[in-house]
Structure 1
Amino acid sequence: MTANPRAIPPTVAPSEKVKAAIAAAKELPLLDVGPYLAGEPGALEQLAADVKLIQENLGFFAIVNHGIPQSLIDESFAQTAKLFELSMEEKLRHRVGYHHQGYLPPKSSILKSTAIMEKIAVNTKKDTNAAWLFMRNRDADDPKVRANVRHRGLNQWPESLPAFKAALHAYQSAMEKLSLKLLPIYARALGLRAEHFDPMFKAPEYYQRCAYYHPEEHMDEGQYALAPHSDGSFLTLLPMTPVPGLQVMTPAKEWLKVSYVKDALIVNTGQVLNRLSNDHFIATPHRVVNPPMKRYALTFFFYPDDDASVAPIPECIAPGEQARYDTRSFYDFFVPYLDDLYHYNDPNFMKEVEPAGVTAQA
């Protein structure tokens, strides 16, 4: 990042292990966040220096000692496996629709994004994964539900699997709390006050993608379990799984195969922080290739408040630079981001449901 006199960079240098991991680009840098979460002096500044280097180069890392009980993650994976074992009849009753909440069948969408067309060829193949998509849980009296605000509707929970709902609620709550605790690291990595992002996350949004990657006997050329894309999040949290498949694009535009680290969470940032940092923190393309066996994912995308500005932060605009993004709210960024990324077979997907208050799902 170009020196900016308005910023206050981390007070320490990046660790040698992180510099080596970035240079080699063979595995994700691994950070221990335990000392920081325990409030040890100096831990925040060291993590900020390491994350700054990572976010300016690779954009992905893994964390250990993050405080999320492995038993909760294991139960969430077990319940997610049961979710995809439900009958197709029940799953299709909850098919994803106008609010992008519900069941997404395999080979029913094409994932592509104008944000990465210059880095990767445009995807024209249907992704083979299946997914259940959940936003922050709301009830029928929520003002955004009553107003039929898009992507802020009622989640579609399978009636026959109440244990899944309970497990996912606990999982999402834990992930939200951890995400909030990580905000000061990103603030200091950008040379901002540790509490800089607090006003943007008074009522943060999130998007939970429970995915099932079925090993396919045949894949068309250029087809993926999940096509190359960059996330739209501020940050993304993903529990690691021993089943391979996730690949991350390196600065040399090569694909790094992510190796399993027991009890670790993968962390990456998306286009929200990319915008806020004025492109200094990258939103890295990544993909999932056909796995050798059944693979599940519990991806937690963390976002700011709907009304939070996602314009470049003045302190992140270095001397001689211009703001590379317009001024808009997070919500006004989020809706077109999803529309740009997901392209569905169902011609009724984009059709608004009336009247307001009716469950807006296809």
Structure 2
Amino acid sequence: MTVQTIPVLDLQDFVSGSGPDAGSDIKSQAFVKALGEALSEPGFFALVNHGVEQRLIDAAYGAAEAFFALPENTKAEYELAEMKGQRGFTQFGKEHAKDSEAPDLKEFWHLGRDRATAHPTAYPENIWPREVPQFRPVMTTLFKQLETCAGHLMSACAQYLQQPADFFTAQVKEGNTILRVIHYPPVPADAVPASQRAAPHEDINLITLLCEATTPGLELLQLNGEWLPVQPIQGQIIVDTGDMLQALSNGLLKSTTHRVVNPSRSRDRRFSMPFFVHPRPEFDLAPLPGCVERTGGNQLFPAETAGQSLERRLKEIGLA
């Protein structure tokens, strides 16, 4: 039996208290405390009983495999420069980590909310692969289930930061949240020696929900400088702090460096599906006064909007 290497939390401990007295019962309070401690150190936790159906995750990976198996020229039709990699296809080796010149050994597809928004400039319309008809309905349903799960987690985060439970609700409801469907193909013989499937990096957003990957490879950097493998266990979603939440909490919650290492057998493939939770672009990421007080009294991060932060990162990683 595979044992997880990071804290494991049960979402039902929190959701069970989601009535008028949400967060007031002992289990809910314990969940909020455990979530805050996990996102502070190590910055990651695994979530069970999260409400995302296993059959849906399996179907999504099936649709992903069907798309990425298409000819390169067919996939390239869905890569549009004006999208800045935020919708549709991004070719193998185009993205790199913020502080790395070596390309990541992956290709991916991005999708967001498939509905109208009160802020049409906040994110573009989705595009869908015609060749894989099951892709759209499966990914749309998965997005909605992950969004529901993320809503509960953001409510718990708000409570840990001593904010009202709905502090993030309006912000993430119309935020540029993205589901990234990633294919790590076999490592090519001519790959740049320094390239990894995903070089060491931190996530830009508030929190990330990662459906269990098809094979191992994810590792997080510990305070002692060693890398800790995180296990892909069926029924678990991996959750981590992004840079935006780290800034808002003045570093109380840590955005931990992580990577995806190359496989021991170069012909192995890997799929994963991270769900990047974003607030609305005008959301102010200036550290909350209460968090500044809890972290020593000095503001450690500048005032910046979520939109400014995202645009800066897209340039840093080669997508804009």
TM-score by length of 1: 0.78
Match of 2:26 among 21, 25, 42: 42
Corresponding position of 1:81:
65
Matched-pair contact (CA < 8 Å) for 1:29–1:62 = yes
Q: How many residues in Structure 1 have an aligned counterpart in Structure 2?
A: 305
Conserved in 1, the CA contact under 8 Å of 2:97 and 2:201?
A: yes
Which segments of structure 1 move beyond 4 Å, counting only runs of 4 or more?
142-145
Q: Deviation of residue 324 (structure 1)?
A: 2.3
1:12-48 deviations in whole A, cap 9, x for unaligned? xxxxxxxxx9xxxx81111112232222831221112
In structure 2, which of residues 142, 161, 166 is the aligned counterpart of residue 171 of structure 1? 142
* 1:198 counterpart = 2:181: no
* 8 A Cα contact 2:213 2:273, kept in partner: no
2:89 is aligned with 1:103: yes
Separation in 1, partners of 2:159, 2:124: 35
Match of 1:6 in 2: none
Say if 1:125 and 1:172 are closer, same or farther in 2 by CA, change over 3 A: same
Worse overlay, 216-225 or 260-269: 216-225
1:138 to partner: Cα distance: 5.0
Cα offset for 1:238?
A: 0.7
1:70-125 Cα distance to aligned partner (Å, 9 max, x none): 1111111111111101221211111142322221111233x232xxxxxxxx4221
Alpha carbons 2:214, 2:272 under 8 Å: kept = no
Distance 1:103-1:201 versus aligned 2 partners, 3 A rule: closer
1:325 Cα offset (Å):
2.5
Q: Which residue of 1 aligns with 2:284?
A: 309
Shift of 1:332: 2.2
Matching residue of 2:5: 27
1:337 matches 2:309: no
Deviation at 1:217, TM superposition (A): 5.4
Distance in 1 of aligned mates of 2:311 and 2:171: 18
Is the alpha carbon distance of 1:328 and 1:123 closer, same or farther for their aligned partners in structure 2, counting shifts above 3 Å?
Answer: closer
Matched, 1:223 2:208: no
- Which consecutive unaligned segments of at least 5 residues does structure 1 have? 1-20, 114-121, 345-349, 351-362
1:144: how far off? 5.7
| Structure 1 range deviating more: 225-234 or 192-201 | 192-201
State the alpha-carbon separation in 2 of the partners of residues 310 and 160 from structure 1. 40
C-alpha distance in 1, partners of 2:214/2:114?
Answer: 29
Matching of residue 133 in structure 1 with residue 110 in structure 2: yes
CA separation in 2, counterparts of 1:217 and 1:203?
Answer: 39
Following the alignment from structure 2 to structure 1, what is the Cα–Cα distance between the partners of residues 214 and 72? 27
Offset, 1:199: 4.0
Q: Which residue of 1 aligns with 2:74?
A: 90
For 2:81, what is the secondary structure of its paired residue?
A: coil
Instruction: Determine the structure 1 residue equivalent to 2:97.
Output: 112
Following TM superposition, by how much is the alpha carbon of 1:225 offset from its aligned partner in structure 2, in angstroms? 0.8
1:235/1:268 contact within 8 Å kept: yes
- Distance in 2 separating the partners of 1:303 and 1:237: 12
Determine helix, strand or coil for the equivalent of 2:195. Answer: coil
Question: Which residue identity does 2:145 align to in structure 1?
Answer: A
By relative contact order (CA 8 Å, sep 6+), the higher-ranking structure is: 1
Q: 1:108 corresponds to which letter in structure 2?
A: K
Partner of 1:12: none
Report if aligned partners of 1:123, 1:222 keep a CA contact under 8 Å in 2: no
| Contact kept? 1:90, 1:158, Cα under 8 Å | no
2:178 is matched with which residue? Answer: 207
Alpha-carbon distance in structure 1 between the residues aligned to 2:75 and 2:61: 18
Equivalent residue number for residue 274 of structure 1: 246
Task: Give SS of 1:237's match.
Answer: strand
- C-alpha separation in 2, matches of 1:169 and 1:198: 20
| Structure 2 segments unaligned to the other structure (5+ residues) | 19-24
Q: Pick the structure with greater CA Rg.
A: 1
Q: Indicate the residue corresponding to 2:211 in structure 1.
A: 239
Q: Which residue of 2 is the match for residue 357 of structure 1? A: none
User: How does the TM-score come out when normalised to structure 2?
Assistant: 0.88
Change in 2 beyond 3 A, CA 1:107/1:328 = closer
1:248 equivalenced with 2:234 (yes/no): no
